[in-house]
């Protein structure tokens, strides 16, 4: 591996955008019956714990087929973004079926959001941080568009503190990236150098393999610099 490639991998430019988009567009047809169904209980518990206030603006990053969308109260405003058209198509259908007038969907790359600074009270990323080509850019964008003092919630698998399990996660990660996610990312790595402060962290089902991490965005109005991959 060249120095450039090594730097790219360590900085998060780990998966190819086109490939990830294609993987999820192809996966869309069976997503709800497979992974989507398996993690629905944890999505429900995540949204229940958001303590959404009337009028809150919520951003769902990597909204996928929109399985969380019917869970949001109708007195808030939700924007869902994703770059895989196949996933968004399913999400649009779900919006229609459930008549979700408080939800808007947009085709957008989470690494370059076409959204204003400080414009959301809550930013939610469910099973996304390890599924994006460049997590640093995406986390940086989530911080930018979230209001100072707003909350950023990540529902995700983060690599294990146990050395043996972490070694296995590192070993299988290059294989997993072909099916759209990586297994070797730790929460500390994701949060390093950001203004996010963990307020709540708990393991969630199935098998308590995933974590629900709620952070407060402690920025003071300045944009967090992105280290490009």
Ligand X SMILES: C[S@@+](CC[C@H](N)C(=O)[O-])C[C@H]1O[C@@H](n2cnc3c(N)ncnc32)[C@H](O)[C@@H]1O
62 versus 150: smaller Cβ distance to ligand X: 62
| DSSP letters spanning 128-193 | -TTTSS-HHHHHHHHHHHEEEEEEEEEEE----SSHHHHHHHHHHHHHHGGGT--S---HHHHHTT
Least separation, in Å, of the C-beta of 112 and ligand X? 8
48 versus 222: smaller Cβ distance to ligand X: 48
Least separation, in Å, of the C-beta of 84 and ligand X? 3
Least separation, in Å, of the C-beta of 181 and ligand X? 6
32 versus 118: smaller Cβ distance to ligand X: 32
Positions in the binding site for ligand X (CB under 6 A)? 20, 24, 36, 43, 62-64, 67-68, 81-84, 87, 109-111, 126-128, 131-133
Least separation, in Å, of the C-beta of 189 and ligand X? 18
Closest residue to ligand X: CB criterion:
64
Least separation, in Å, of the C-beta of 5 and ligand X? 20
Q: Are 149 and 122 in contact (CB under 8 A)?
A: no
85 versus 167: smaller Cβ distance to ligand X: 85
Least separation, in Å, of the C-beta of 187 and ligand X? 17
Q: Cα(164)–Cα(187) distance, rounded to whole angstroms? A: 17
Q: What is the dihedral of CA 46, 124, 176, 106, to 10 degrees?
A: 130
What are the tokens at 27? 């996966």
24 versus 120: smaller Cβ distance to ligand X: 24
148 versus 176: smaller Cβ distance to ligand X: 176
């Amino acid at each position: 591996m060249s120095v450039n490639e090594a730097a790219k991998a360590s900085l998060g430019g780990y998966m190819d955008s086109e490939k990830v988009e294609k993987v999820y567009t192809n996966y869309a047809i069976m997503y709800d019956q497979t992974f989507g169904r398996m993690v629905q209980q944890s999505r429900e518990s995540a949204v229940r714990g958001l303590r959404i206030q009337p009028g809150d603006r919520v951003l769902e990053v990597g909204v996928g087929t929109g399985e969380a969308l019917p869970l949001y109260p109708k007195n808030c405003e939700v924007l869902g973004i994703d770059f895989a058209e196949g996933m968004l198509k399913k999400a649009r259908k779900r919006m229609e079926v459930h008549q979700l007038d408080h939800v808007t969907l947009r085709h957008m790359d989470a690494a370059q959001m076409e959204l204003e600074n400080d414009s959301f009270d809550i930013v939610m990323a469910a099973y996304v941080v390890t599924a994006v080509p460049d997590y640093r850019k995406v986390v940086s964008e989530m911080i930018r568009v979230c209001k100072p003092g707003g909350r950023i919630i990540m529902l995700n698998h983060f690599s294990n503190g146990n050395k043996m399990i972490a070694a296995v996660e590192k070993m299988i990660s290059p294989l997993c990236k072909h099916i759209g996610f990586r297994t070797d990312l730790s929460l500390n790595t994701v949060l390093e150098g950001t203004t996010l402060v963990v307020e709540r962290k708990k393991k969630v089902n199935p098998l308590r393999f995933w974590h629900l991490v709620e952070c407060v965005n402690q920025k003071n109005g300045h944009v967090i610099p992105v280290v490009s991959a």
